Structure 1
Amino acid sequence: MSFFHTKSVAQLQSDAENSKLSKNLSVFDLTFLGVGGIIGAGVFVLTGIAAARYAGPGVALSFVIAGILCILVGLTYSEFSSFIPASGSVYSYTFASLGEGMAFLCGWSLLLAYTVTASAVAVGFSGYLSGMTASLGLVIPDYLLKTPAEGGLVNLPSIIIILLLCLVLIRGTKQSAKLNFALILVALAAIIAFVVIAAPHAQAANLSPFTPFGVRGVCSGAAIVFFSYMGFDAVATSAEECKCPSRDLPIGIISSIVICMTLYIAVSLSLTAAINYTQLDTPEPVAYALRLLGWPGMANLIAVGVLAGIITTLIVYLFGQSRVFFAVSRDGMLPQKLCKIHPTFHTPYLITIWGSILIAVISGFVPLMHIVELSNTGTLAVFLVNFIGIVVMRRKHPEIPRKFHCPLLYLIAPVGIIVCFYLIYELSTLTHILFAGWILLGLIVYYAYSRKHSIVRE
């Protein structure tokens, strides 16, 4: 019955109190951590691809659907984080509610989601960088920008940026937060500039039909762009590094989702109104659109802001991945040596290094769209389990003090479960098979290693 053995809330609270991680993140840091993790991926990388292949101008509705689901998830996260201020987000929440085995599979899925999402965003960074350098007369050879499956050798820029950010994260959380804030300001300036320039070029003809692929196309688009909101999960994973997690985490989670959903809607409407969606099948849609509109110089300037936004997203995903690894390995279900804390910088440096290497390899050698869909399946599955877990905790432990209560939980949870199921269904059969294989591999790891080495029951 070890699969269903739960970890007490008192144990999780003790883990957080005794953590050697530096507790220096404020509500301001958390909000911008979430914003940094969200704005780079969807706005700058997938907006064009989702519009061209799935939703047309209705991609704005795709972002709304995905954003509303994330707000519902964020409300349940906020209740969990108000009394379980531990690293690992859903991994820790599920350990308390549904047991060790389900917690491990959630952590296993989160590791997949963070790893492949960061890889996809790194590919987007490479696309924007090559477009900007080409317009300046510095052409990066195609074989250094494409994976072997795409006819190249390796996507080298994506590997380099991941390894550089790995070094930044090892240096410390507060330092990473400061860099993240500075880059977000640059990215926000780029978003505002793009909307101001593109809006006057809007043509009604480009928005008609608004949903060329129908309602299902909009829903498929939501399933594809869903991963772009995943950055808010990293806010929850930072619980042990917050000054006041029970108060600050709920504020940081919800505010970052709302801010970024507003930005997504503004950019996607401006983009598809100015340029016909059929021309946007590119990993650098914002800069590409500006070049088509006759603003090549501004495209290069905004590309700098875009690169800043993508870098902030990579910082947050690398951070989130390492904290999930940290929580799982601390419980002994992955080798405990991985959770070793750096004596000077107080960061889990070994996990950060190995996780970054894994992300770099995937981004350099795996095509973009396979990465994105697999990431979305893992994320949606984890969020579905989270909805179940919060209901279980509300019924099993109503006596635990909560500084935040999810409103209308018994309405929100069923709706969230249904939407998660449907969005998973909208993804490709290949993605379902790959994710099933990942879960099967997770079960093998759990029964062969994790169950025997778990220190929780001891």
Structure 2
Amino acid sequence: MGFWSKLIRRKSVEQLQSDAGASTDFRRTMGVWQLTAIGIGAIVGVGVFVLAPHEAALNAGPAVVISFLVAGIGSACAALSYAEFAGMIPVTGSAYTYGYAVLGELPAWIIGWDLLVEYALIVGVVAAGTSNYLQSLIADVTGLHLPIWLQGAYDPAHPDSGRVVNIIAVAVALGMAWIQIMRTEIGARFNTIVVSMKVIGVGIVIVAGAFYVHTSNWTPFIPDLVHDAAATGGTRYGMNGVLAASSIVFFAVFGYDTLTTAAEESKNPQRDLPLAVLASLGISMLMYLAISLVLTGMVPYNGCVDPSQAAGHCDQMILASQAPVSAVFAARDLHWISAIIDIAAVCGIASVVFAFMLGAARIWFALSRDGLLPGWFAKSHPKYGTPYRPTMVLGIFTALAAGFLPIRELAELVNIGTLSAFILICASVLILRIRRPELERRFRTPAIWVLAPLGILFSLFLIIGWPWFENGQYHPIGGLDIITIWRFVIWMAIGLAIYLAYGMRHSKVEAQNRGE
């Protein structure tokens, strides 16, 4: 087999289906609702408690609802493609495994390497976010505060802060790893309880806030475009702002792909995985739309924390504050609900840590089981039936990252990684429809020739920016920073070097081709 042929060698769908049926690596204990809880846990987090109100204040006004709908359309196109693959190839590895079946080994490795850093980075970033909410909740309930040096990581931008390590973030990352090393059903039950508490908390916020909505706050629904954005801290409205916001809130409407990594732990994966993918996205979108309408109805989108200051001309807008949901209810003298908000926020963010650590460990396991990474990691726990070795390493790595590194800039790598995977998945489902139309598909993406290309275009625009012409000149809206794109290229180059040096020679498919 020639060099280029090795790069595109594929696993057949039939082989993957056979492997899934014969696999004894994991315990099959998850039903459709536990899988759906993993998806909701991954999707609903900072989007409810930070992104929705922030984007209403800074970019879209009440029309942030439209921003979520635009982002949701793009995400739904990818979700439908995931659902078709999940029902057809119910194997641990998610997009990596699907890519192996359709595009070949090197593209599959690129997807797997991409998702591995994306998921691990989300765990580190979100563990730090969980710490902030937990510290706030502890202070509200007990009045106690951690020593300054334990409250957060050292930040070169603020060298005099006195902070050294985010000890709660370390504990959250290690605690989640320990829960996932235990029996899968224990972790799944824990996650289901946490997600249920989050959904109930968000529901209480929506219902309680609905009684204090003034529909006049929704007028104008799409505020006029602010032309001098620099003078308003980057604020912009009009459709320009709505589309810019959609590029940002998109990253609040993915995460359902994490549940497909648990395919080999599902009781009936070909039925349950497609249902869970679509249910988790649908429920999450309803929550986002409801919270956006309630928050922008309770206070003016450009209302000030200091009521003596004129709307839109203030030091701090309510919806752009550090804890915007709490700030909205405080502005309406509803302080009694702050504890519920804090608990829902902690549960919401903790469930994101759980879902993405679960996904990262199983992608790592799949890469190792296929020989592309050392096989030492492809050993399930002899008693608990979990991928304990990659989970243990991820727990330590993410604990160190969350505890000691200010990784805000690196967090943008999550965005480009997810969008790149979505482009490849939407393309793959089209290719497989052409190449293997006879395959049994438990779920078929409707209008595939429209929705899959639409998903590719949405993802591409969110990377490079939405096309926009103003005064006869082309000014793309949104898109990712060029530095982020270069960092992604560097990470992919490192992954390519590992594949050429190790994975290509140790691939299980290569061994089978040699008759070993």
Normalised by the size of structure 2, how large is the TM-score?
A: 0.84
Matching of residue 24 in structure 1 with residue 29 in structure 2: yes
Q: Secondary structure at the match of 1:247?
A: helix
Aligned to 1:271: 295
Aligned to 2:229: none
Distance 1:337 1:370 in 2: 32
Query: Which moved further from structure 2: 222-231 or 326-335?
Result: 222-231
Aligned to 1:351: 390
1:165 alignment partner, one of 176, 185, 208? 176
Distance 1:67 1:221 in 2: 12
Q: Secondary structure at the match of 1:457?
A: helix
Matching of residue 180 in structure 1 with residue 180 in structure 2: no
Shift of 1:161: 0.9
Aligned to 1:258: 282
Shift of 1:75: 1.1
Matching of residue 200 in structure 1 with residue 202 in structure 2: no
Identity, in percent, stands at 36
Structure 2: give runs of 5+ residues left out of the alignment.
Answer: 223-235, 303-316, 465-478, 512-516
Shift of 1:217: 2.9
Instruction: List aligned pairs for 1:123-134, cutoff 5 A.
Output: 123-134=128-139
Alignment root-mean-square deviation, CA:
2.1
Instruction: List aligned pairs for 1:435-446, cutoff 5 A.
Output: 435-446=488-499
Aligned to 2:468: none
Shift of 1:58: 3.2
Aligned to 1:280: 319
Matching of residue 34 in structure 1 with residue 39 in structure 2: yes
Contact 1:120/1:371, CA 8 A, preserved across alignment = no
Distance 2:61 2:431 in 1: 40
The code of the aligned residue for 1:409 comes to: I
Q: Secondary structure at the match of 1:60?
A: helix
Distance 1:114 1:235 in 2: 12
Contact 1:287/1:300, CA 8 A, preserved across alignment = no
Aligned to 1:363: 402
Larger radius of gyration: 2
Contact 1:76/1:406, CA 8 A, preserved across alignment = yes
Deviations 1:191-222 (A, max 9, x none): 11212233333345654554543334333323
Q: Secondary structure at the match of 2:44?
A: helix
Instruction: List aligned pairs for 1:38-53, cutoff 5 A.
Output: 38-53=43-58
Shift of 1:376: 1.1
* Closer, same or farther: CA 147–269 of 1 in aligned 2, 3 Å: farther
Aligned to 1:10: 14
Shift of 1:46: 3.1
Length, aligned pairs only: 458
* Closer, same or farther: CA 272–154 of 1 in aligned 2, 3 Å: farther
The code of the aligned residue for 1:269 comes to: L
Distance 1:148 1:46 in 2: 25
* Closer, same or farther: CA 403–108 of 1 in aligned 2, 3 Å: same
Normalised by the size of structure 1, how large is the TM-score?
A: 0.94
Aligned to 1:321: 360
Distance 1:301 1:382 in 2: 36
* Closer, same or farther: CA 64–120 of 1 in aligned 2, 3 Å: farther
Contact 1:220/1:423, CA 8 A, preserved across alignment = no
Instruction: List aligned pairs for 1:64-213, cutoff 5 A.
Output: 64-136=69-141, 137-149=143-155, 151=158, 152-203=163-214, 206-207=217-218, 210-211=221-222, 212-213=236-237
Contact 1:127/1:283, CA 8 A, preserved across alignment = no
The code of the aligned residue for 1:270 comes to: V
Distance 1:105 1:162 in 2: 26
Shift of 1:145: 3.3
1:433 alignment partner, one of 461, 465, 486? 486
Deviations 1:198-247 (A, max 9, x none): 33333456545545433343333233232333321112111111111111
* Closer, same or farther: CA 235–445 of 1 in aligned 2, 3 Å: same
Deviations 1:282-337 (A, max 9, x none): 55332343334323332023311221222222111111111111111111111111
Distance 1:445 1:209 in 2: 54
The code of the aligned residue for 1:140 comes to: L
* Closer, same or farther: CA 285–118 of 1 in aligned 2, 3 Å: farther
Distance 1:269 1:93 in 2: 37
Contact 1:124/1:284, CA 8 A, preserved across alignment = no
Contact 2:96/2:109, CA 8 A, preserved across alignment = yes
Aligned to 1:243: 267
Shift of 1:7: 1.1
The code of the aligned residue for 2:12 comes to: S
Q: Secondary structure at the match of 2:510?
A: coil
Shift of 1:369: 4.2
The code of the aligned residue for 2:401 comes to: I
Distance 1:217 1:247 in 2: 40
Contact 1:224/1:373, CA 8 A, preserved across alignment = no
More helix by share: 1
Distance 1:290 1:125 in 2: 21
2:500 alignment partner, one of 407, 428, 447? 447
Distance 1:208 1:123 in 2: 37
Shift of 1:390: 0.8
* Closer, same or farther: CA 119–271 of 1 in aligned 2, 3 Å: farther
Aligned to 1:232: 256
Deviations 1:325-361 (A, max 9, x none): 1111111111111121101100000111111222223
Query: Which moved further from structure 2: 79-88 or 201-210?
Result: 201-210
Shift of 1:120: 2.7
The code of the aligned residue for 1:248 comes to: D
